Amino acid sequence: MSTKERKPGDSRPGSPGPSRPVVVSGRGEFTVKVFADVPPEHDIELRSGSLATPEDVRASTQGADAVVVDYEFLSADHIAAMSDSVKIIGYSGTGLDVVDLEAARARNIAVLYLPGFATEEVAEHTVALMLAGVRRLRRADQVARTGWGEWRSAGPLRTLNGATVGLIGLGRIGSGVLRRVRAFGAEVVAYDPDATELPEGCRRAGSLDELLRAADVISLQVPLTEQTRGLLGEREFQLMKPDSLLVNASRGGVIDERALVDALERGDISGACLDVVEQEPLDPAAPITRAPNTLLTPHVAWYSPAAERRSRDHTLNGVAAFVRGEPVRFGVLA
């Protein structure tokens, strides 16, 4: 689907919206916790309502000007059930995979998202995963707890210094990762067909295959779209070096997880450090939890107290401004 980004302040034709918009927040873990105590300067009426089913959406959105969500997926059926009063959906994150954009467009409901609100957090977490992987910190911790005599069993321990780091995607986060790994002395190769120019200190891979063959550490910084879903699968893992490390703090669906588990078990690659998985929250019995040489974090790369506040404030300010017909700072899709 093609979408266009609305210019700041774009709204529906007609009279200005209400001075104190009614905003319905879903009952996801993030929205319940963070939107529970909204500062008065937001000047909105915030209501909590279930968005679990289309029937819940229909009941919760009566008279609402906006809906805000975190990871509660809004399908076409959910959006079709929204009250005619709803003008915008605010997603308190960077991706666009939690809202059916085609359905929103058909209802003339705008979608707000927050590109860049946690760039530094995600870039730092990505490099932390790289360091944990190349230094095998999970295994080293286990060895330390059971007696230091077998310390060599934690290895081989490597460094980012002198390694070739392959970045798939070179937007805000990818560029942040680039700056950090260069400081460690890594060589960087990047694959991003949309990047017209690459930052200094980075060479372009002519294809994804070229990057996969060249890199010692491979990191994904791409959104989840129909084009990127399953971007790395069995074929791609077989192209990678046997001692390579895979890092992903973008979206779990860009990796074929079953193929990754198989690749780790066969030794096609040496390890994987993941902040995201295909199905979240992660089932403790999922095969990836038992795969060798893995380190998992629970989709926290974005998090810091400051990022959490930014997410709340930018989401609420953005949807309220849109409803009032005022300029909107972050991305709004028609």
Catalytic (active site) residue 280: yes
299 tagged catalytic: yes
In this structure, is residue 15 part of a structural domain? no
Is 10 inside any structural domain?
Answer: no
How far apart, in Å, are the Cα atoms of 207 and each of 173, 201, 216, 229, 254?
20, 18, 16, 17, 17
pLDDT for position 28: 63
> Would you say residue 7 lies in a domain?
no
In degrees, to the nearest 5, what angle opens at C-alpha 248 toward C-alphas 264 and 266?
5
- For residue range 115-141, what is the model confidence (pLDDT) as tens digits? 999 999 999 999 999 999 999 999 999
For residues 300 and 26, which has the higher predicted lDDT (pLDDT)? 300
| Catalytic one of 102, 150, 265, 280 | 280
Annotated catalytic residue, options 105, 125, 136, 251: 251
CATH number for the domain harbouring residue 123? 3.40.50.720
Same domain for 164 and 260: yes
State the residue range of the domain holding 36: 22-117+305-333
Give 137-194 pLDDT, tens digit per residue.
Answer: 999 999 999 988 888 888 899 999 999 999 999 999 999 999 999 999 999 999 999 9
Cα 8 from chain centre: 24
> Same domain, yes or no, for 177 and 275?
yes
Same domain flag for 180 and 166: yes
207 shares a domain with 113: no
Same domain, 237 and 276: yes
Per-residue pLDDT band for 200 (boundaries 50, 70, 90) equals confident
Predicted local distance difference test score (pLDDT) of residue 15: 42
Is pTM, for the whole model, over 0.85?
A: yes
Catalytic member of 125, 136, 299, 314: 299
If asked whether residues 198 and 123 sit together in one domain, one would say yes
Domain membership flag for residue 5: no
Do 127 and 194 have their domain in common?
yes
Residue 4 has pLDDT above 70, yes or no: no
- Residue 100 within a domain: yes
Active site residue 47: no
Work out how many domains the chain is built from and give that number. Answer: 2
Q: Is the domain of 279 the same as that of 309?
A: no
Whether residues 283 and 141 fall in one domain? yes
pLDDT-above-70 percentage for the chain = 90
For residue range 275-334, list pLDDT tens digits in order: 999 999 999 999 999 999 999 999 999 999 999 989 988 999 999 999 999 999 888 885
Q: Which of 130, 95, 128, 89 is nearest to 112 (CA)?
A: 89
- pLDDT tens per residue, range 31-46: 666 666 677 777 888 8
Asked if 179 contacts 172 with a C-beta cutoff of 8 angstroms, the reply is no
* Pair 109, 123 in one domain: no
User: For residue 237, what pLDDT band results from cuts at 50, 70 and 90?
Assistant: very high
Q: Are residues 175 and 261 in the same domain?
A: yes
CA-only gyration radius of the chain, Å: 22
Question: SS3 letters for the chain?
Answer: CCCCECCCCCCCCCCCCCCCCEEEECCCHHHHHHCCCCCHHHCCEEEECCCCCHHHHHHHCCCCCEEEECCCCECHHHHHCCCCCCCEEEECCCCCCCECHHHHHHCCCEEEECCCCCHHHHHHHHHHHHHHHHCCHHHHHHHHHCCHHHHHHHCCCCCCCCCEEEEECCCHHHHHHHHHHHHCCCEEEEECCCCCCCCCCCEECCCHHHHHHHCCEEEECCCCCCCCCCCECHHHHHHCCCCCEEEECCCHHHECHHHHHHHHHHCCCCEEEECCCCCCCCCCCCHHHHCCCEEECCCCCCCCHHHHHHHHHHHHHHHHHHHHCCCCCCEEEC
Query: Does residue 14 lie in a domain region?
Result: no
Close Cβ partners of 287 (under 8 Å, ≥ 6 residues apart): 257, 258, 261
Q: Are 57 and 147 within one domain?
A: no
- 177 occurs within a structural domain: yes
